[in-house]
Chains A and B, each alone.
Chain A
Amino acid sequence: MIEGRKILGSVGLGILAVFVIVAVLAPYIAPYNPHQMSRPMEHPSSRHLLGTNDIGNDILSEIIYGTRVSLFIAFVVSAISMLVGTSLGLIAGYFDKLGFVIMRVVDIFLTIPRLPLIIVIAASMRPSIWNLIAIFLIFGWTMTARIIRSEVLTLRSRYYIDATKMIGGSDCYILWRHILPNVIPLVVVQFIMEAIHVIFTEAGLSFLGLGDPVARSWGMVLHYAFECPIIYVSDVWMWWMLPPGLCIVLTVLGLTFVGYALEETLDPKLKSPAYGRGL
């Protein structure tokens, strides 16, 4: 069981590492500038490994640069969401009155159907990746805040919190030194969940044409592919539609594997020496 998790985790990490390297090194890896135009609708060849699209952009280069956009949005949104969600969750769990206020705000956000509202907001704003990030952030922190809060509620009644009070620890000290480290595994898992959600939703929005037309993500590549009727009647879909779709699936799969493996690694009770001793 543990071994299986480790293998899956390594596979996931490997997949993610490949995408991250591709994203970072995009200008060196991509054979063309994604905006450079050559002959449109070329089939795959040694010059264009995945052919060209309807306006003559190299599709492989488009996807490589798209990795940057998709991963950047997912990372920034997840990181900021975790920062905000965890801070508010810690405060909400530890201080009753503030917690009540924060949780009612969370309630409001959670009752609003997330996807339709995101679509409405995205449609009413100028499409750009910064606007997309802002839209995802509106909702990103809420679930995390709630999950962290419920964990803090149980953590704060532990005896070691009392023990820390007894040696003169202040509330802030207890939150920072004792409660935060105990919720970090949850935060990491939430980070991954949020990244998965953002990658999917961003792809969906872009697919609907609400993404940034300049910084094209994988979803945007798909959007343009579907706008071109020819993909329905020829083999073009195999190199225009399938690769970006596979990228999305693989990234999400990689994240899921890593999340699964982390569950074990982040729990010090399962760490190897004691585990081996069977304590």
Chain B
Amino acid sequence: MTLLEISDLKTHFPTQSGIVRAVDTIDLSIRERETFGLIGETGCGKTVLGLTLMRLLHPTTTVEGTIRYRGKNLLTISEAEMRLIRGEEIAMILQNPTTSLNPVMRVGEQIAEAIRLHQGLRRRAAKEKAVEMLDSVRIPAASRRANEYPHEFSGGMKQRAMIAMGLACDPALIIADEPTKGLDVTIKAQITELIKETAKEKAMLLITHDLGVARALCDRIALMYAGELVEYAATEEIFENPLHPYTRGFLGSLPGNGLVPIPGMSPSLIDLPDGCRFHPRCSHAKAVCRKKHPELIEVEAGHFVRCFDA
């Protein structure tokens, strides 16, 4: 069952130096209870895609296309309706746990907020639920910790608290934006484990540039480059049979695979190269790659690639 269907989505920011095409013609769908990984370099538009789904971009941004969530087009419903969806239906876990909690509010209260906003529970009941949520993300002595302020939490605990906040209203879809960023390796493993557990019940869009985390958690993976998807398939398929040169480069840059970097830099989203957007960095680039923009084609069942070579 498809939970979220994005078609022809474009998110453009008008700026002084030109239009930034942060998300450019993206089609993808996320099924119920599926964990979908969105992978790409910094600045390829991953986070913008997440914020577009939540409709939390600056008002001057132009968004085109459709985002269908359980039959509703999220881009056309009113702000009030959208507020009911945020947190209750779709929750987003931000990438900066240290700054995503209000420093002057007790952690428990901040988690209780989500519950009170959507479920209309009284302060006391919401607080109890918040403690339960903290306990479920394995914060020790949750009832005492709930009364503490964010600065009394460690980085990993803050991220757990953020996850608890995201899960508080039992949303159907979680958008996790680099949930392991800035955490040290052991904590990262714990958080990954925690996400894996919670993700079993829910659909998740995992935004990351950490292939290890993505492989451990995702059912399907999409690679994003310069605002568009270049390849997507089932996780194992991506790792066993990568077709796009960018995917291969990305895998080759893993420490276990030789630590070979992809040459060059990702292009400016204002001034994109003609033809294939990856061609200036691609070792297999041919004449056609410079002139024509490749389409995303299905090479095998469920395996899509945007490359003339595939």
Contact = CB atoms under 8 A, between A and B. Distances in A.
Interface of A: 158-160, 162-170, 173, 177-178, 181-182, 268-269, 271, 273-274, 279
Contact of B168 (A167, A182, A273): A167
Contact of B101 (A163, A167, A274): A163
6 contacts: A159-B94, A160-B101, A160-B102, A166-B94, A168-B84, A268-B104
Contacts of B168: 167
B94 A177 contact: no
Contact of B152 (A158, A168, A273): A273
Contacts of A181: 102, 104-105
Interface of B: 54, 56, 83-88, 91-92, 94, 96, 99-105, 110, 113-114, 117-118, 149, 151-152, 162, 165-166, 168-169
B205 to A, nearest CB: 13
4 closest A-B pairs by CB: A167-B87, A167-B114, A168-B87, A168-B86
A160 B100 contact: yes
B113 A169 contact: yes
Contacts of B85: 168
Nearest to B115: A167
Contacts of B152: 273-274, 279
B94 A163 contact: yes
Contact of B96 (A159, A164, A170, A182): A159
Given A165-B56, A168-B83, A177 B113 contact: yes
B99 A160 contact: yes
Contacts of A160: 99-103, 110
A159 B86 contact: no
Contact of B105 (A167, A178, A273, A279): A178
A164 B100 CA distance: 9
A166 B91 contact: yes
A166 B86 contact: yes
Nearest to A179: B102
A149 B299 CA distance: 56
A237 to B, nearest CB: 50
Contacts of B103: 160, 182, 268-269
Contact of B100 (A163, A169, A177, A274): A163
Given A168-B86, A168-B114, A170-B83, 9 more contacts: A158-B99, A160-B103, A165-B86, A166-B56, A166-B166, A167-B118, A177-B113, A181-B102, A279-B152
B100 A159 contact: yes
A273 B100 CA distance: 22
A177 B149 CA distance: 15
Contacts of B110: 160
B114 A178 contact: no
Nearest to A161: B102
A162 B56 contact: yes
B149 A168 contact: no
Contacts of A167: 86-87, 91, 113-114, 117-118, 165-166, 168-169
Nearest to B117: A168
Contacts of A269: 103, 151
Nearest to B98: A159
Contacts of A170: 83
Contacts of B149: 268, 271, 274
A53 to B, nearest CB: 51
A166 B54 contact: yes
B84, B110, B118 interface centre (most CB from chain A within 10 Å): B110
A90 to B, nearest CB: 15
Nearest to A164: B113
A241 to B, nearest CB: 46
Nearest to A182: B104
A160, A181, A182, A268 interface centre (most CB from chain B within 10 Å): A160
A265 B241 CA distance: 61
A163, A169, A181, A269 interface centre (most CB from chain B within 10 Å): A163
Contacts of A271: 149
A166 B101 CA distance: 12
Contact of A162 (B88, B100, B114, B169): B100
A71 B92 CA distance: 51
A143 to B, nearest CB: 23
B61 to A, nearest CB: 15
A177 B88 CA distance: 19
Contacts of A162: 56, 94, 100
Contacts of B162: 163
Contact of A169 (B92, B117, B169): B117
A159 B99 contact: yes
A162 B86 CA distance: 11
Nearest to A166: B92
Contact of B118 (A165, A168, A173, A273): A168
A159 B169 CA distance: 20
B88 A168 contact: yes
Contacts of A168: 83-88, 114, 117-118
Contacts of B56: 162, 165-166
A173 B162 CA distance: 19
B83, B104, B114 interface centre (most CB from chain A within 10 Å): B104
A13 to B, nearest CB: 23
B85 to A, nearest CB: 7
A159 B105 CA distance: 14
Contacts of A182: 102-104
